[in-house]
Chains A and B, each alone.
Chain A
Amino acid sequence: MIDMDRRTFMEGAGVGIAYAATASAVPALAESAPHEAPTTTVSLTVNGKAHTVTLEDRTTLLDAVRNQIGLTGTKKSCDRGECGACTVHIDGHRALACMSLAVTQKGRSITTIEGIANGSKLHPMQAAFIEHDGFQCGFCTSGQIMSGVALLKEARSGWPSAATPDVTRPFSYDQLSEAEIRERMSGNLCRCACYPNIVDSIASAAKEG
């Protein structure tokens, strides 16, 4: 069996499709009206690696990461900041790539789902999602995992949530109940309604620290 991970496989398959699409699409594009959108060349640091890309100013971080940089683990679902599928970390904080303009991300450190494993060793949150069946179709999963990873960091830093009984008291990590996890994950929707297993996955990863 060829030693090829899923990413390499998908990239290989994608190239074939792209070539096929280009052949028929070129005449149509040439006939359409010229469409000048201002562009900027910017260096984006994604998963520790700098990428110099020239982008239309209107390009979202989500489109830049997927289409220019080729990291397609971050998913586009609602594209309106409502579903959380595009969750990434910006300077260590979870954020929505679909509502961020890429050219404003200069100097920031972006982490996507592709950047959290340690080589071939999964991040504990990834492993927990597999262990607890934290997904069905899997489309929202990278966003769920990125949100879950950040959630534990926030809780460790003493951040309260709307599920915290009294915000005037410091929040301690051992208060991270199921209700807390559900509230803190409310920005990540799952169309398959895999919520019980997502909560179990995060609770399990939380116990491991």
Chain B
Amino acid sequence: MHPFSLSTVKEVDLAIRAHARDPNAAFIAGGTDLVGLMKDRVVLPQHLVDIYHLPGLDQIELLPDGGFRMGALVRMSDVAVNMHVRNSAPMVSEALLLSASGQLRNMASMGGNILQRTRCAYFRDGDGTPCNKRSPGSGCSARHGINRNHAIFGWSDACTATHPSDVAVALRALDSIVLVRSASGVRAVPFGDFHLLPNDTPEKDNVLGRGDLIVGLEVPNRPEARRSHYLKVRDRQSYEFALVSVAAALDLDGHNIRSARLAMGGVAHKPWRLSSSEQALVGVDIGDANKLRAAIARGFDDARPLEQNEFKVELAQRAVLRAVQTAGARA
């Protein structure tokens, strides 16, 4: 790795100040993404601010409405195994258990998880090919290159990458809140507004600016959360990023869907909400596969596959159907 200095901070305010004043500073918590990016020379911060020991950010707390709040430094495994999370929003636990490996889940923080950079191989090639996300203005090698794993929604000519997080997909479906602290206080960012589409500025993954630190994630109590399921489809059975993934949550009135929440991973630059499918699913009998399929298809009217990933359009709809049926079968 390139030479850098590292300082460990013990107070949130000091961490924010250290990051705000130095354009070459980066926060490091679990380090599972950042260390790899530095080894591959994708990012080269001169100074790391180690936040893993900041006090008060390592707890999972119940909210008055029955939802829960996760401190930004809670590890993925802590959330995945938490009995309240497993009972109240099983797809959050499932998404985490389907992510990475046992070792990485013990290291990676929840705040860092939603900040993971894309796994696009061109982006990860720090010394090589053009990539607008890594090197703005250099071009997108994936646009007409190897783009089998890339987006089918919301991409631009500047970038066709997908967001790699699993749990972010479940959090998006539940309209979670990202708590961001800066020198001017804490602001609550709706999950759907947190990550950005690439447009002409793919170097910007999310709304965070210099001196912004995620301090927590809130999952409000949604009536659909209990009957939920996370389905991940990938080239290997385990320890692999998604080709497509689905977070599905349902509120049922007998056999009929009262309301649905659907989000997808592996299909866009951000966790992708299938709002049209959700609306079309209202009132559909959970046992009527044809009607479910037709309702789900509504969310794919605006799908735009690339040269190598047309298969994802069909694969995604089948995955959504199975996730909805599995969620619907949950007691």
Identify the A interface with B (CB < 8 A).
35-38, 40, 56-58, 60, 79-81, 84, 87, 90, 93-96, 98-101, 103-104, 106, 147, 150-151, 154, 157-162, 164, 167-168, 170, 182-188
Neighbour of A95 across the interface among B6, B48, B87, B103, CB < 8 A = B103
Q: Report if A100-B238 is in contact (Cβ < 8 Å); known contacts: A58-B2, A159-B81.
A: no
Are the C-beta atoms of A167 and B86 separated by less than 8 Å?
yes
Bound state CA distance, A79 and B35, in angstroms? 10
Residue B274 interfacial (CB < 8 Å): no
Q: Report if A96-B104 is in contact (Cβ < 8 Å); known contacts: A79-B39, A104-B50, A158-B81.
A: yes
Bound state CA distance, A101 and B48, in angstroms? 11
Neighbour of B36 across the interface among A81, A93, A101, A147, CB < 8 A = A81
Would you call the interface of chain A mostly helix, strand, loop, or mixed?
A: loop
Neighbour of B102 across the interface among A81, A170, A184, CB < 8 A = A184
List the A residue with the shortest CB-CB distance to B75: A93
Are the C-beta atoms of B101 and A99 separated by less than 8 Å?
no
Neighbour of B238 across the interface among A80, A150, A162, CB < 8 A = A162
Q: Report if A104-B103 is in contact (Cβ < 8 Å); known contacts: A40-B6, A99-B31.
A: no
Are the C-beta atoms of A81 and B104 separated by less than 8 Å?
yes
Residue B184 interfacial (CB < 8 Å): no
Min distance, Cβ A184 to any Cβ of chain B, angstroms: 6
Are the C-beta atoms of B107 and A162 separated by less than 8 Å?
no
Q: Which residues 76-109 in B have Cβ within 8 Å of A in the complex?
A: 77, 80-81, 83, 86-87, 90, 93-94, 97-98, 100-104, 106-107
Bound state CA distance, A56 and B35, in angstroms? 15
List the B residue with the shortest CB-CB distance to A96: B103
Residue B290 interfacial (CB < 8 Å): no
With a cutoff of 8 Å between Cβ atoms, the chain A residues found around residue B98 in the complex are 162
Are the C-beta atoms of A57 and B5 separated by less than 8 Å?
yes
18 A-B pairs in the complex with CB atoms less than 8 angstroms apart: A38-B4, A38-B6, A57-B4, A57-B5, A57-B6, A81-B32, A84-B101, A99-B31, A99-B32, A100-B31, A100-B107, A101-B6, A104-B6, A104-B8, A162-B94, A186-B237, A187-B100, A187-B102
Interface hub of A57, A81, A147 (most chain B Cβ within 10 A): A81
Q: Which 4 A-B pairs have the closest CB atoms?
A: A187-B101, A37-B3, A186-B238, A38-B5
Bound state CA distance, A41 and B1, in angstroms? 19
Interface hub of B5, B38, B48 (most chain A Cβ within 10 A): B5
With a cutoff of 8 Å between Cβ atoms, the chain A residues found around residue B40 in the complex are 80
Bound state CA distance, A198 and B103, in angstroms? 17
Q: Report if A154-B3 is in contact (Cβ < 8 Å); known contacts: A159-B77, A167-B97.
A: no
Q: Report if A95-B106 is in contact (Cβ < 8 Å); known contacts: A81-B36, A167-B97.
A: yes
With a cutoff of 8 Å between Cβ atoms, the chain A residues found around residue B39 in the complex are 79-80
Bound state CA distance, A17 and B38, in angstroms? 31
Min distance, Cβ B280 to any Cβ of chain A, angstroms: 28
Identify the B interface with A (CB < 8 A).
1-6, 8, 28, 31-32, 35-36, 38-40, 48, 50, 52, 77, 80-81, 83, 86-87, 90, 93-94, 97-98, 100-104, 106-107, 237-239, 330
Bound state CA distance, A194 and B39, in angstroms? 29
Bound state CA distance, A170 and B93, in angstroms? 13
List the A residue with the shortest CB-CB distance to B40: A80
Bound state CA distance, A164 and B93, in angstroms? 11
With a cutoff of 8 Å between Cβ atoms, the chain B residues found around residue A106 in the complex are 8
List the A residue with the shortest CB-CB distance to B88: A168
Bound state CA distance, A58 and B39, in angstroms? 10
Bound state CA distance, A80 and B80, in angstroms? 24
Are the C-beta atoms of A99 and B3 separated by less than 8 Å?
no
Min distance, Cβ A83 to any Cβ of chain B, angstroms: 10
Neighbour of B90 across the interface among A87, A161, A167, CB < 8 A = A167
Bound state CA distance, A84 and B204, in angstroms? 31
Bound state CA distance, A38 and B46, in angstroms? 10
Min distance, Cβ B77 to any Cβ of chain A, angstroms: 7
Bound state CA distance, A154 and B101, in angstroms? 13
Min distance, Cβ B144 to any Cβ of chain A, angstroms: 28
Neighbour of B28 across the interface among A60, A101, A158, A184, CB < 8 A = A101
Are the C-beta atoms of B102 and A150 separated by less than 8 Å?
yes
Known contacts A58-B2, A104-B6, A161-B102; can you find 14 more A-B pairs with CB under 8 A? A56-B3, A58-B4, A79-B39, A81-B32, A96-B32, A96-B103, A100-B35, A101-B35, A104-B31, A104-B50, A160-B93, A160-B97, A185-B102, A186-B102
